[in-house]
Amino acid sequence: MDAIKPEISAHNRRPAGRSLRPPTPPLWQSYYHVAYTLLICLSGLLLTLRFLSAPRPAELLIVPIGILGANFIEYGVHRWPMHHGYRGLHALFRLHMVHHHYFYEDTYWIQGFRDFAMIVFPPVVLNVVCFGVTPLFAAGLAWVFNLNVALAFYATVFGYYLLMQLIHVLCHLDTDNKILALPGLRFLWRHHNIHHTKPIMAIANFNFIIPIADFVFGTAVTRTPADTNRAPMHQGLMSPSAAGSAKN
């Protein structure tokens, strides 16, 4: 796919300043995004688990496989379509750029519940994932294996999507929020906060939950140029630092 070149620079168009933040969405929109996500994901989880029939350990292997696959898909969609204006996927790019301009470097923190509409994905994204794409994979799994494997996979998708939205909300809390004292949350908060800095947002820290794919592709960054007055430090199997070590 060819990127629409003029739009790539949209990452750097918005100057810093709270006055240039996009308009705050209406309150009903936040309720709609949150309620729809909870309703569909929790109902989907309950229904799929309800119809699981004495699953064997081998059948449940689809859960970690699904989580790993979702991690790389989440990474790929976020890194490319959401940050580059590919033809045919331009709406996704524009939607995500509104999020970045709303939660810019100096406006990164949630100010109130109205902001949730800018964090929790709109229902159309959930519909495409859970009712458009996932049924195709589930049908294939049911055909190749059995219904239990397909249901466990479907439950994994619902659970992963819901967790991704929850983590995304938590990663936009204020720095002194007590919830961030929970194990691992401070690390995830910093990981995502770095992604929202102007020099880095298009090149690093694309995972929302566990940054497995970020580590594998060498796009996990633990500090910004502002932190160290030098280039950001990459970590990962395919990072520049790892490549340099391999040569030595």
Q: What pLDDT score was predicted for residue 36?
A: 98
3-state secondary structure string across the chain: CCECHHHHHHHHCCCCCHHHCCCCCCHHHHHHHHHHHHHHHHHHHHHHHHHCCCCCCCHHHHHHHHHHHHHHHHHHHHHCCCCCCECCCHHHHHHHHHHHHHCCHHHCCCCCHHHHHHCCCCHHHHHHHHHHHHHHHHHHHHHHCCHHHHHHHHHHHHHHHHHHHHHHHHCCCCCCCHHHHCCCHHHHHHHHHHHCCCCCCCCCCCCCCCCHHHHHCCCEECCCHHHHCCCCCEECCCCHHHHHHHHC
Q: What pLDDT score was predicted for residue 21?
A: 76
Give a yes or no: residue 192 inside a domain.
Answer: yes
Full residue range of the structural domain in which residue 86 is found: 5-209
Give a yes or no: residue 147 inside a domain.
Answer: yes
Give a yes or no: residue 181 inside a domain.
Answer: yes
Give a yes or no: residue 104 inside a domain.
Answer: yes
Give a yes or no: residue 91 inside a domain.
Answer: yes
Give a yes or no: residue 248 inside a domain.
Answer: no
Dist. CA 105–CA 194, nearest whole Å: 9
Backbone angles phi and psi of 45, in degrees to 5: -60, -50
Give a yes or no: residue 217 inside a domain.
Answer: no
pTM of the predicted model as reported, rounded to 2 decimal places: 0.87
Q: What pLDDT score was predicted for residue 16?
A: 44
Residues of the chain with pLDDT under 50: 1-9, 12, 15-19, 242-248
Count the domains in the chain. 1
How is residue 92 written in tokens? Answer: 């996704």
Q: What pLDDT score was predicted for residue 248?
A: 44
Q: Which of 67, 64, 71, 65 is nearest to 212 (CA)?
A: 71
Give a yes or no: residue 149 inside a domain.
Answer: yes
